[in-house]
Structure 1
């Protein structure tokens, strides 16, 4: 901002000097114009005898003119300045300064100057001289990839029409240099040039060229410490979580230098000393040394201080819990090496919302307003006495509990999952558990669920609770086609996971389908020239609406046509039909804890063979019935997001049983087995029809998986599986149904015989079955016993509501046998590989795996090698 009072013509040179000082000085705006004003005042005093008016005298404004390079109307500028003809002002005075300030604050003008061009008695003529700030016309960015340019424009707000000022140029330059330095480009240089656009358009415009020279990423060659005698350089470097020196064997942590991460790591170094008893440790100096090979070295000088130990620890103000109980949580004894970091964690562990610490003990029992502060009261002879000062406050009760953001899901569906109720004693554990339950429903974006505390009132002991959720797509469509098994296979599947069956007859509820009651409904059709499969399933998670008892039912029908190897076509006069129905109940338990679920189901399958002669049965015409009862005990306490769990575990034990028909059907199966050995093919078919009229078996399955967050976002998932299919009567034998088929992506295109397909990547689908003694190759009947071990490392790329994407690496092995006699659980087929998973609400889980099988297939001698597996709709 410039204020030039040009009283006489001969003072023009003075004005020019001030103007040049303001423009060319490298000083800040405030300082340069302060100096300019002082220079002006001094000059005016020096030339006081030449002034034609009295300083500080009031003058009446006569005419006001506007000059300079501007497209604005003269009267508009005068009105906006606040000056007007006939107004009395002091010269010099605040009125002119305020006028310039108003024009400057409009952010429309540049080089604003006010002149007294003429004085006649008490009347002064003023001239406002200014120029318009130029507008940005065209922006060109060099030095970054095309895809990054839009982000730069958005971040810097350099859009067409933006007023270009020196401040904007300086701010943009500093912002971009700082931005890239944060990413490890320590030598980033940004150059900004503007060129005036000369054309017939009256508006002042400039083209801007933005040149970004990021340079090479600066890597850390070495990190050296000085002054450390107690802790080694290696230990201190390990304490630095994000600042690492070059190590070609390290993959997860890079060696680039980022200043903000480095500053945080200096604090971690100090914390490492505090964890080892050196309470007074501090960083004296740290320096960055630039090496000739374009790397840097870090030198950190520390003062370790002296070793401290814990002395007496006393509690003050505690009435709810005894000293003994609080000491059992603190787990620190007199004489232990001082560890300030661990002390704070056992008072309040900010890294674990459900951690076992003193603060959580109070908060889980209603004392929301409690305050717990450890205070060092003595440090004589390096022995630190601690007072844990506790202000318990009143117990807090929930006043109002609300949920916002559930636009599709009905309130009663959400509220029945809440663990916090109005009038209930506050519990932090219940708040954490509620967030987890809302995430596990699958109707909301697990990353966006937030518990908000509203109107906390320590005096009344009340708190309002609001859970904020964001709806996500809960229905899925499966539409796929492919070539396999000698023909085209088409699949159409619809899955509605937040369905409302009570609204199916309400026209207004179809948006596009009735939703909001938390029910699941799925329809699936799959067909080719050789088979057709139809299935329907429905589940209600809260049967009756008052208890978490899930009711489910499913109905399916499959028709398989015999493949003619000579013609390559299906013979529809020869078919194998399976019709099945299942009813199930699953109840959430409270003992041992309410993560357990007890499930039970009754199912019936009818197998009909119509001139269908294959190796599956020894008879081609006939039927078989499978009436079974399944009971399972499951526990799932994984963290909030079911797509990408970061903590917790899941395990399940199930038993599937049929009635032991051989105990009461009056058939001597030992005698039938002896007769079968010498019978002709027709009689063998009759015998097997008798054996399989009602299927008799028991089946035991176990599956367990655990999730551990190794470092932020990097999750390890070990998994163990085991399955066994047995027979009550050894003469009747193990049935050819319900078998285990190991290998591949774990997805069966269709399942005729109740088989379970077990994923083992790096091998072809269903290829790792036991050897058939008669052929020496893999059996077509699958195995009756299997086990599998898997270790998977996962890292999220994005966990947004529209698409959750994570990369993974895996090691796994498994084996399948036909009996316990030859069973060796550790003689596994091994594999390793990499993959990606993409979860989109409309399509479910999609993915691809590249697996390398290290062992040969059954009956072969060379390792299997690489396999590619496409994952479509597999469960998490």
Structure 2
């Protein structure tokens, strides 16, 4: 009998097209139909590859029995359907299974854990071994011992993988010491280390000792010194580690030699064809002859030059920095070589995914034009402005270079549902519940226009508001907003009713800046006054409100980066009371978001910081309804709306720390303080922001910092929206 062996892809061409039958021998868990669907004697080489891709066979033999009959003899790897983990004390079975299989979600209540089956090849065996060892080492266990064995299942075909673990001692870092450093502070050096010392306030209770990071840490320390101009620095190859019997360790890093700080020598910019080198150098003041040499400032200068080139269409520009070190004079002469490359023009902008939004509705928001110079900064602003529309959920830009001078840009967008139904409520222990509802339809007929109706009803309030926003009036970058409203507020001292109409013109002034002019005619009534200083009256006002706004927030619903500034002024006239005459006021609002994840290249820190500062001032003859209130959702959340009172001058400051759970949920801690420049009030609390499939949801739980006796201390607010 002629026998042909095929092991691990030594492909042999066989003319088997005449074969009539194939017998498969050695199958245990794989059914014959799977083999028949894959293996063909007529296409032997590709069939063999396909069988090995199953990762189920350790050996495959093709045996020719006679002229018309062949035997395919296979040997399967053990098929694992369950796992038993023994000896684990510090970590649960689920934690260890997640280290092996990131998507593992099984209940760990039983000793035997069910998993998605797999075949235990030698490669898979090593991967399991290394994954568990690395998981333990990552948490400070220096030398865990593992033993892996197989236990046959009752079906006599599959196996249970038994992993026995001897954890040994866990080591953690109590203190980190730096010795030999005089030029750079301990804290700066510790910031570049991957091992971290115990810090209770930072929730580092027992940070693991990670010995495998020592070589990288030494290089990080050297790089830190060199960035600051200490080019002759020497650091001991490995730190000293001293551990107690309890596993507490102290690490000491030794700087053998810091050396002298080098200075900048001659700085030469070569091939600066499109800008004056002196103008560029003025913007990076630390890059000067005689100044301490540092790579960080050079990198800043490099990015500044590249940005300048790219803003002028040189998309593939580059800058090469060549430092020439003079060890005797302790200076560094720097040559900066500019490579502008070719200037690119934007040939075509393609927009995809806008099934309901008209193409020109999106194009008018772009800071890029076809046949003009392409700018990466313009692309960044364009994407941000599409997000700010509110009905675009996702934007994916793709650049396709056509030749040395032209490129195409494709913007793939994903639209949100354009309608929003909002239902909300507020509650406090004094006033009880307030119901809120609004119906909004954005992007009417794909034009971007928005219409909204909102109402608020409760024990102390009755309100409705109708507005319509039209984008690009007469095809000019001017937005116009019509507003019709009626509001009734019942306060402790009086009842206020406002009925009015307004029109607001908003125009884009320059990059990210908007200028608006609002005209309002309103009839206000004050009734049921219990305060002798507040008289019952009905007045008609005309109010002119110009405003300047700056907006670079990256998302209108859940911002991570950017800032928002608004300067608003009010100039009003009382037609019903000529003795009052003109009244005026102004306010300034500043909001700033920082995403800490952008500042740490080697860590994932999903924390967003927000700071909001607000100032308001008005003349003493301003009607009480147009003075400034303290207390409420966007003021001091420990108080109900207007609970603190009305003032001619106020200020507030809000600080929020948000932690993101993925892209849709953020938990926040907040602190609100403010006052009338005579007395300070404050509130604190926590809340949640959720971008659910139905729409954004908001919860806030606020407490007063210094409540008066018998005054309610708690306020709760929530809102829920629904897209349609």
Bucket of the pairwise TM-score, normalised by the shorter protein: 0.7 to 0.9
CA displacement 1:575-597 (0-9 Å, x = unmatched):
9865332222222224xx65132
Shift of 1:225: 4.3
- How far, CA to CA, are the matches of 2:365 and 2:164 in structure 1? 55
Residues 489 and 163 of structure 1: CA distance in aligned 2, closer, same or farther (over 3 Å) = same
**Residue correspondence of structure 1 range 183-194 to structure 2 within 5 A:** 193-194=149-150
Structure 2 gap segments, 5+ residues each: 9-18, 106-113, 601-605
Give the aligned partner of residue 354 of structure 1: none
Give the aligned partner of residue 272 of structure 2: 318
Instruction: Return the match for 1:762 from 638, 661, 680.
Output: 638
**Residue correspondence of structure 1 range 449-488 to structure 2 within 5 A:** 449-455=395-401, 457-458=403-404, 461-473=405-417, 475-480=419-424
Higher mean C-alpha deviation, range 338-347 or range 464-473: 464-473
Give the aligned partner of residue 426 of structure 1: 374
Residues 865 and 481 of structure 1: CA distance in aligned 2, closer, same or farther (over 3 Å) = closer
Structure 1 gap segments, 5+ residues each: 7-28, 31-60, 85-94, 349-356, 504-515, 564-574, 664-668, 670-690, 729-733, 747-758, 770-782, 817-824
- How far, CA to CA, are the matches of 1:549 and 1:794 in structure 2? 36
Q: Counterpart of 1:417 in 2: which secondary structure?
A: coil
- How far, CA to CA, are the matches of 1:784 and 1:561 in structure 2? 18
Q: Does 1:849 align with 2:701?
A: yes
**Is the helix fraction higher in 1 or 2?**
1
Shift of 1:374: 0.9
Residues 114 and 737 of structure 1: CA distance in aligned 2, closer, same or farther (over 3 Å) = closer
CA displacement 1:321-353 (0-9 Å, x = unmatched):
2332343345422222221232122112xxxxx
Give the aligned partner of residue 807 of structure 1: 668
Residues 495 and 326 of structure 1: CA distance in aligned 2, closer, same or farther (over 3 Å) = same
Q: TM-score, with normalisation over the residues of structure 1?
A: 0.66
Give the aligned partner of residue 11 of structure 1: none
- How far, CA to CA, are the matches of 1:253 and 1:398 in structure 2? 54
CA contact (8 A) 1:288 1:296 kept: no
Give the aligned partner of residue 442 of structure 1: 390
- How far, CA to CA, are the matches of 1:243 and 1:380 in structure 2? 33
Instruction: Return the match for 1:721 from 610, 614, 620.
Output: 614
- How far, CA to CA, are the matches of 2:36 and 2:514 in structure 1? 78
Give the aligned partner of residue 249 of structure 1: 201
Give the aligned partner of residue 296 of structure 2: 341
Give the aligned partner of residue 478 of structure 2: 549
- How far, CA to CA, are the matches of 1:345 and 1:266 in structure 2? 25
Instruction: Return the match for 2:455 from 525, 537, 543.
Output: 525
CA displacement 1:633-671 (0-9 Å, x = unmatched):
2222434233324233413222141246655xxxxx6xx
CA displacement 1:490-543 (0-9 Å, x = unmatched):
4332223x331xx4xxxxxxxxxxxx3222222223445776533322212322
- How far, CA to CA, are the matches of 2:702 and 2:209 in structure 1? 34
Instruction: Return the match for 1:132 from 44, 62, 76.
Output: 76
CA contact (8 A) 1:474 1:841 kept: no
CA displacement 1:6-25 (0-9 Å, x = unmatched):
9xxxxxxxxxxxxxxxxxxx
- How far, CA to CA, are the matches of 2:104 and 2:425 in structure 1? 47
Shift of 1:273: 0.4
Residues 99 and 326 of structure 1: CA distance in aligned 2, closer, same or farther (over 3 Å) = closer
CA contact (8 A) 1:605 1:627 kept: yes
Residues 632 and 76 of structure 1: CA distance in aligned 2, closer, same or farther (over 3 Å) = closer
Q: Counterpart of 2:451 in 1: which secondary structure?
A: strand
Residues 103 and 542 of structure 1: CA distance in aligned 2, closer, same or farther (over 3 Å) = closer
Residues 251 and 826 of structure 1: CA distance in aligned 2, closer, same or farther (over 3 Å) = farther
Residues 452 and 298 of structure 1: CA distance in aligned 2, closer, same or farther (over 3 Å) = farther
Give the aligned partner of residue 657 of structure 1: 572
Give the aligned partner of residue 682 of structure 2: 830
CA contact (8 A) 2:539 2:575 kept: no
Instruction: Return the match for 2:336 from 388, 391, 401.
Output: 388
Q: Which fold has the larger relative contact order, with Cα–Cα distance below 8 Å and residues 6 or more apart in sequence?
A: 2
Instruction: Return the match for 2:648 from 785, 794, 805.
Output: 785
- How far, CA to CA, are the matches of 1:282 and 1:865 in structure 2? 63
Q: Does 1:699 align with 2:699?
A: no
Residues 286 and 649 of structure 1: CA distance in aligned 2, closer, same or farther (over 3 Å) = farther
Give the aligned partner of residue 111 of structure 2: none
CA contact (8 A) 1:373 1:389 kept: yes
Residues 462 and 99 of structure 1: CA distance in aligned 2, closer, same or farther (over 3 Å) = closer
Instruction: Return the match for 1:867 from 708, 714, 718.
Output: 714
CA displacement 1:203-241 (0-9 Å, x = unmatched):
82223456789899853223344665644544422444x
From the CA coordinates, give the structure whose radius of gyration is larger. 1
Give the aligned partner of residue 413 of structure 1: 361
**Residue correspondence of structure 1 range 52-71 to structure 2 within 5 A:** 68=26, 70=28
Higher mean C-alpha deviation, range 359-368 or range 217-226: 217-226
CA displacement 1:249-308 (0-9 Å, x = unmatched):
335999445679877655542232013212254655235847232244444455646432
**Is the strand fraction higher in 1 or 2?**
2
Shift of 1:432: 2.4
CA contact (8 A) 1:741 1:766 kept: yes
Q: Counterpart of 1:236 in 2: which secondary structure?
A: helix
- How far, CA to CA, are the matches of 1:471 and 1:791 in structure 2? 32
- Aligned-CA RMSD value: 4.9
Residues 583 and 435 of structure 1: CA distance in aligned 2, closer, same or farther (over 3 Å) = same
CA contact (8 A) 2:630 2:644 kept: yes
Q: Counterpart of 1:178 in 2: which secondary structure?
A: helix
Q: Does 1:362 align with 2:309?
A: yes
Q: Does 1:294 align with 2:294?
A: no
Give the aligned partner of residue 548 of structure 2: 634
Residues 71 and 589 of structure 1: CA distance in aligned 2, closer, same or farther (over 3 Å) = closer
Instruction: Return the match for 1:602 from 506, 520, 543.
Output: 520
Residues 211 and 743 of structure 1: CA distance in aligned 2, closer, same or farther (over 3 Å) = farther
CA contact (8 A) 1:815 1:827 kept: yes
Residues 616 and 709 of structure 1: CA distance in aligned 2, closer, same or farther (over 3 Å) = same
- How far, CA to CA, are the matches of 1:287 and 1:306 in structure 2? 20
